[in-house]
Structure 1
Amino acid sequence: MDDWPAYLNLMVSPRSHFVGGPISDRFAWGIFCHDVAQWSLLDHGALMIVDRSSKRCIGQVAINAGPFFPEHELGWFVYEGFEGNGYAYEAAEALKRWAFKELKLPTLVSYVDPENAKSCRLAKRLNGTLDIDALREDPTDLVFRYEEDT
């Protein structure tokens, strides 16, 4: 619950436009609860990214699935002021490895708004390749596909 205020602040702000926002407080609460509930329902979900030195929550990384995701998605965001420090890369790379090793997923995707240059660069840095044939809920999203690194 300590992570809720920062999460809400992002989701109701214009900064959330690449993740479907801005949205209402109630809708943000529903997504926040969904992120937690996936752990009980699907054995995966969202994790908050915490800065080790300050112990402050600085973002989120997740393996998302369920009826509104055509495939298992690797997603991430960092809060304002924490971009460009490698936090999202470190967290996403660790969760990606975990998903392949522990969940035995054959593949993962990231759905990225084409205007989100930072996330496009990060997806490529994570060894994602564009999959123009992948299913997607939003037809304008780019889909980056990840295969297990061998």
Structure 2
Amino acid sequence: MIPTIETERLILRPITMEDWPDFSALMQSDRAAYMGGPMSKEKAWGAFCHDVALWPLMGHGALMIAERGSGRCLGQVGINHGPLFPEHEIGWLVYPHAEGKGIAFEAAKAFRDWGLKERGLQTLVSYVDPDNIRSCRLAERLGAKLDAQAPRNDPRDLVYRHAVT
């Protein structure tokens, strides 16, 4: 039920317990400022479990981004929806050692394409804090356009709509 998606450099794979320490450390740090953090360890655990639980509940969720060859975990990409998200949302995070290498772009593009083609979603959005310039630029690089009319939980969020490819 949970796919594994391969790209030229990456393997997007299901979450395992081995992913918890790095995920937890990131979410408890200042680097999680645009992801609802820094979080307590308990809240980070809830986010981690949420990403797994979405798969049987909604038919999508999060995948860890692993480097081909080494298997080193580089971050996460996910499709969220449910009572916390007005629309299907694609989001991403990369660990500090993976930044600036195009990892988030490659992973988000592959997972976006899976969601639209394989899962049959009609549209995807990305909710981005306007101060998160790097995620704004990534959404634009992915071809997403600002949608000022889109519903959002946080009125400050920018909503980037990803085109069906």
CA drift of 1:32 comes to 0.4
Inter-partner Cα distance in structure 1 for 2:31 and 2:119: 32
Q: Which residue of 1 aligns with 2:5?
A: none
Q: Which residue of 2 aligns with 1:12?
A: 28
**3-state SS, counterpart of residue 127 of structure 2:** strand
What TM-score do you get using the length of structure 1 for normalisation?
0.97
Q: RMSD between aligned alpha carbons?
A: 0.8
From 84, 90, 93, the equivalent of 2:100 is 84
2:152 pairs with 1:140: no
Aligned partner letter, 1:64? N
- After TM superposition, the structure 1 = structure 2 runs for residues 29-48 of structure 1, keeping only pairs within 5 Å, are 29-48=45-64
CA drift of 1:53 comes to 3.4
Aligned partner letter, 2:150? A
Identity %: 58
Q: Which residue of 2 aligns with 1:130?
A: 146
Cα deviations by residue, 1:61-104 (Å, 9 ceiling, x for unpaired): 00101100000000001011211101111110001111111121
Structure 1 unaligned regions, length at least 5:
none
Inter-partner Cα distance in structure 2 for 1:73 and 1:48: 16
Moved over 2 A (4+): none
Aligned length: 149
What TM-score do you get using the length of structure 2 for normalisation?
0.88
Q: Which residue of 1 aligns with 2:70?
A: 54
CA drift of 1:51 comes to 1.4
From 14, 18, 27, the equivalent of 1:2 is 18
Inter-partner Cα distance in structure 2 for 1:138 and 1:9: 25
Inter-partner Cα distance in structure 2 for 1:22 and 1:36: 20
Structure 2 unaligned regions, length at least 5:
1-16
